[in-house]
Homo-oligomer: A and B are copies of this chain.
Amino acid sequence: MRKGAETRERILEIAEASVLAKGFGATSIEEVIAEAGITKSGFFYHFKDKNELARALMLRYVEENDRIFDDVFHRGRQLSDDPLQSFLITLKLLAELMGDLPNGHPGCLIATFTYQERLFDRTVRDIAADAVRSWNGRFRDALNEIAAVYPVRKGMDLDDVAIMFSCVVDGGIIMSRGLGDPRVLERQILAFRSFVKMLFAPAASDIMLPSAPAAIAAE
């Protein structure tokens, strides 16, 4: 029972790396089992077919990201009572998290899967869509809290701003990989953070010296 979970985890780890490097369709089960040191029968003991592997990969990915967001939003709230400041701290933590990865972000499973949707059944796609909606919801909630205290620049829909975070991260991962520069992602998240600051900071604060509560978030 214990050992089974370990093997299963190892399979998922290897498969995820392969999927992010070659795509799901080009990820061969034979390569995965060779690297995991098991036989084909062993693989099919854990996953009845490739689609179940896909579902398990997606579930694992979503759960881990949920944990990360839980942690980083929690720490943001701990470090400031002000909703804007704590959100800016959260964004900073996220940027650091992405920037500290030694070989750059390994890639977003949701992104690969949406570019290979025809390979998966509806359950896998629904898991991904629900996860994205829930993550966007977190950001929209945080923005709403801020908007209850600070004035928002006109002409900006907070729903769009919330979704923009996901866009910047997924796009940033692609740019980092495509350009071969892992730092692009971190810089993009910080650029988005500056965007949020602008959104809620009436331009006067740009001119004034940073006040005490703003000092943490300001750097």
A contact residues vs B (CB 8 Å cutoff): 20-27, 107, 110-112, 114-119, 128-129, 132-133, 153-157, 160-161, 163-164, 166-172, 174-175, 177-180, 184, 187-188, 190-192, 194-195, 198-199, 202-209, 211-212, 214-215
**Which residues does chain B contribute within 8 Å of A111, judged by CB atoms?**
111, 115, 174
Complex: A157 Cα to B188 Cα, angstroms: 10
Contact between chains at A115 and B20 (CB < 8 Å): yes
Contact between chains at A188 and B164 (CB < 8 Å): yes
* Copies of this chain in the oligomer: 2
**What's the least CB distance linking A124 to chain B, in Å?**
12
User: Assuming A155-B194, A206-B206, is B178 touching A114 (CB within 8 A)?
Assistant: yes
Contact between chains at A23 and B21 (CB < 8 Å): no
**Which residues does chain B contribute within 8 Å of A24, judged by CB atoms?**
23, 25-26
Supply 13 further A-B pairs (C-beta < 8 A) apart from A21-B118, A164-B192, A168-B168. A20-B115, A22-B118, A23-B23, A23-B119, A24-B25, A114-B178, A132-B175, A153-B198, A156-B191, A164-B168, A171-B172, A198-B199, A202-B203
